[in-house]
Amino acid sequence: MPGGARRVLVVGIDGVRLDTLHTADTPHLDEVAAAGFLAPLTIDAGTPTMSGPCWATIVTGVRVDKHAVWGNDFSGNRLGVFSDFATRLTRQDGRRTYVAAGWQPLVTVADGGPLFHGPSRLTHIAPATETCEDWDDTDELITTEAVRVLACEDPEASFVYLGAVDETGHIQGCGPAYSAAIARADERLGRVLTAVRSRPSYADEAWTVIVVTDHGHRDEGGHGGPSDLERTAWIACAGPDIPAGAQVGTLHHEDVAAQVFAALDRPADSHWTLDGRPFITAPQAVLCDMDGTLVDSETLWLRTVGEVAAELGHTLTDADTPEVLGRAVEDTAAYLRHVAATARPLNDIAADLDARFLAAVEADTALLPGARRLLDTLLDSGIPTALVSASPRPVVDAVLKVLGTESFATTIAAGETARTKPHPDPYLAAARALGIDPAACLAVEDSPTGVAAAEAAGCRVAVVPSFVSIGRAPGRQLLTGLDELARSFTCALSPTS
């Protein structure tokens, strides 16, 4: 999983119809989509299909009934309460933010603005007149300055607005000139992305790129009405938390701001009352740990280790837990031999642990809450699932009688790779068996040892609560339980609307 300093770039391209986008020459947007996703969305029925309300929803993360931008005159808005993401990040967190835009209400007091109240850095270049040519010139100047800032300075969250496509649609309709304007916007997107990649610190950064449009257009040009062409917008996104080819469920404009906060590892404050949520994506495969993740065998293991330790003259305490949990039996046996200062042969201790634990599993294995729902959801959705365990094959096979072999496309047990957890080998083997890049896999784990193995393999990781606390980290999702993960897959795999 890419680590490093988190950065977010949002590029807003005004008024790009989805059907025209599919036929236009857009190699740079295609690159973003291939690295993550490009998906449609339908503007909420209560939101006018106009730039003001849609961009306000995109950058604040709340719907029109809260931000109160009902048209392209922003008068009477509540943006002081429901701020844009750049202002929140700058004023509340002291983050460096950057906004570049030519449309005046976005960044000036014109027509009741600004939408962006307080970014730490701002570029504003207004068109001389409301013509296609002057808007194209403005987008060129905005792009040139954005390229300089993104390449040479260090904004943590940025928003770059391009407006010429929308102006072309208004004046010339959605014909060849409109398609050409989309192609020019894509070329400017490419220059902005090149600037990001040219940064001397780029190799040590983790960038999320979001490209979004606000509304569509009628064939003859113009928008504001209820037609499907006007109400259909789209979002593209790529980044360290978004696997290539990601499947997404229903998206909303307000999700963009929520994703900006999530991509920066900045939990949204409940007082903001955001309506959006971070993009929910389904991985191409799920790699599940077994003990303590799907079945309550950690309790059985700790009981087994405690019994063996006591016979060796050592009383197991909470301080021992990280050393014996989530590890191969040989590692645990070596640890017990050391702390008990016993001369008992290592192989004897390991064999004793194996035999007692297998008997306990065969007698008392129970599914953890949400495990059945998660496995059934993955099976029904066709997402390949692997079982990746540090337990030996006899224990895995005993647990599979409870979990069901049909739930897994492949299983990996201790001893079946050169090294086991915390090394990446088991997760790499599982991904290889499924024929899927580890970066497109989600590993579900409960122990620091397992998390270390999955992250070393390059997987995203979802962590369920267990005996040992595990902290936040880039690309790591902390869950309340397996039910939460099952719900997220249901949302991610629901049809877009």
Q: Output the pLDDT for position 495.
A: 59
Continuous H helices in 325-392: 329-339, 346-364, 371-381
DSSP structure string for 278-321? ---EE-SEEEE--BTTTBTHHHHHHHHHHHHHHHHT----GGGH
For the segment 391-400, the average pLDDT, to the nearest whole number, is 92
Would you call 134 exposed, middle or buried from its count of C-beta atoms within 10 A (0-12, 13-18, 19+)?
middle
437 burial (CB, 10 Å; 0-12 / 13-18 / 19+) is middle
What's phi and psi for 369, nearest 5 deg? -55, 130
| 3-state class (DSSP) for residue 392 | strand
pLDDT, position 85: 98
pLDDT at 264: 92
Residues in the chain: 497
The rounded distance, in Å, linking the Cα atoms of 411 and 319 is: 31
pLDDT tens, 76-98? 999 999 999 999 999 999 999 99
Mean pLDDT of the chain: 93
Under the banding of pLDDT at 50, 70 and 90, the label for residue 241 is: confident
Beta bridge partner(s), residue 10:
159, 210
For residue 178, which of 126, 228, 135 has the smallest C-alpha distance?
A: 135
Contact 155, 96 (CB under 8 A): yes
What b/e string do you get for 342-371 counting C-beta neighbours within 10 Å, with b at 16 or more? beeeeeebbebbbebbbebbeeebebbebb
Q: Can you give the pTM of this predicted structure? A: 0.75
pLDDT at position 294: 96
**pLDDT over 90 at 409, yes or no:** yes
Rounded to 5 degrees, φ, ψ at 99 are -130, 135
* pLDDT at position 51 over 90: yes
Vertex 12, ends 282 and 142: CA angle to 5°? Answer: 140
User: In what helix (H) or strand (E) does residue 210 lie, and over which residues does it extend?
Assistant: strand 205-212
What's the confidence (pLDDT) of residue 384? 96
Neighbours of 34 (CB within 10 A): 13
Query: Position of tokens 């690295």?
Result: 35
In this structure, are strands 37-42 and 232-238 parallel, antiparallel, or unpaired?
A: antiparallel
Asked whether the predicted pLDDT for residue 497 surpasses 70, the reply is: no
Q: Is the Cβ–Cβ distance between 446 and 476 less than 8 Å?
A: no
CA-to-CA dists, residue 3 to 7, 263, 479, angstroms: 11, 12, 20
Are 295 and 399 spatial neighbours (Cβ–Cβ below 8 Å)? yes
- DSSP state string for 423-483: SSHHHHHHHHHHT--GGGEEEEE-SHHHHHHHHHHT-EEEE---SS-----TTEEE-S-HH
Top pLDDT among 351 and 97 is at: 97
Backbone φ, ψ for residue 470 (5° rounding):
-125, 130
Instruction: Mean pLDDT check: name the lowest of 4-8, 43-47, 471-475.
Output: 471-475
Q: So what's the pLDDT on residue 299?
A: 84
Query: What percentage of the chain exceeds 90 in pLDDT?
Result: 79
**Alpha-carbon torsion, ordered 391, 397, 403, 406, to 10 deg:** 120
> CA–CA separation, 478 vs 342, rounded Å?
39
Return the minimum-mean-pLDDT range out of 93-107, 330-344, 412-426, 461-475. Answer: 461-475
> How would residue 3 be classed by pLDDT, with cut points 50, 70 and 90?
low
pLDDT band of residue 125 (cuts 50, 70, 90) is very high
Q: What 8-state DSSP symbol labels residue 496?
A: P
Query: What is the pLDDT at residue 496?
Result: 46
